[in-house]
């Protein structure tokens, strides 16, 4: 079993990367292989509704990450996409990539578990998270949850590691995803994953 993680942040080693790395580390400890794709500062085109993908079987634009990432997803069993929050929304390149992948290569995504992760300084994360996961419901992709919304807080690079509850949320998300994948592939569903004692973290201490 393998999970594809997409880091939608232009900062390859920023807080979104830290959040996804925490989930990936937990998945790997549970025997789930992972692969991470980072958008970084690369150009990602938006969908222009040309519908060429419906006859060609792939997006007409072959000069960015879209088609190559769809091919990776064909060999994976689940998806986690993380994005920083810009003006209460996922950043534009992450959203453009997600929309084009699902429209042009939806057959490789349909039915596979998926999760979104929103990373922000302070506000807008719930709206961004909702935007990320809404396409999954249209693709019959089971949305994997955690102990809280899949949100991690941090502004400057590295600050997400200080969000103890956010990091715990990522680990719980990974355990829930591993459980779902293992249940799907096992003749008998395994026991529910053990939960860590809750580590609530508040802005005001």
pLDDT recorded at residue 188? 78
Q: Does residue 196 form part of some domain?
A: no
Please state whether the predicted TM-score (pTM) of the whole model is above 0.85.
yes
pLDDT at 12 > cutoff 70: yes
* Mean pLDDT to the nearest integer, 10-27: 97
Contact yes or no for 181/115 (Cβ under 8 A): no
Q: Does residue 160 form part of some domain?
A: yes
Give the three-class secondary structure for 3.
strand
Q: Which helix (H) or strand (E) holds 191?
A: none
14: Cα within 13 Å, side-chain hemisphere: 24
Residue 61 region by backbone torsions, left for phi larger than 0, else alpha for psi between -120 and 50, else beta: beta
CATH code for position 177: 3.40.50.360
Q: Does residue 169 form part of some domain?
A: yes
pLDDT at 91 > cutoff 90: yes
Backbone angles phi, psi at 36, to 5 degrees: -115, 130
Alpha carbon 100 to its chain centroid, in Å, reads 15
Which structural domain, as residue segments, surrounds residue 63?
Answer: 2-185
């Amino acid at each position: 079993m393998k999970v594809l993680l997409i880091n939608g942040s232009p900062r390859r080693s920023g807080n979104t990367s830290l959040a996804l790395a925490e989930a990936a580390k937990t998945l790997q400890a549970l025997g789930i292989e992972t692969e991470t794709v980072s958008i970084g500062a690369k150009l990602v085109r938006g969908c222009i509704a040309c519908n060429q993908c419906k006859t060609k079987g792939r997006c007409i634009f072959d000069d960015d990450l879209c088609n190559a990432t769809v091919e990776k997803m064909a060999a994976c069993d689940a998806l986690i996409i993380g994005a920083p929050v810009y003006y209460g929304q996922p950043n534009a390149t992450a959203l453009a990539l997600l929309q084009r992948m699902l429209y042009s290569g939806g057959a490789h995504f349909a039915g596979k578990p998926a999760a979104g992760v929103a990373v922000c300084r302070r506000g807008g994360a719930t709206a961004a998270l909702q935007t990320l996961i809404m396409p999954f419901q249209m693709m019959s992709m089971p949305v994997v949850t955690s102990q809280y919304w899949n949100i991690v807080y941090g502004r400057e690079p590295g600050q997400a590691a200080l969000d103890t509850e956010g990091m715990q949320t990522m680990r719980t998300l990974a355990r829930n995803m591993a459980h779902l994948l293992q249940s799907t592939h096992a003749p008998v569903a395994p026991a529910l994953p053990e939960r860590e004692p809750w580590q609530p973290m508040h802005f005001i201490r």
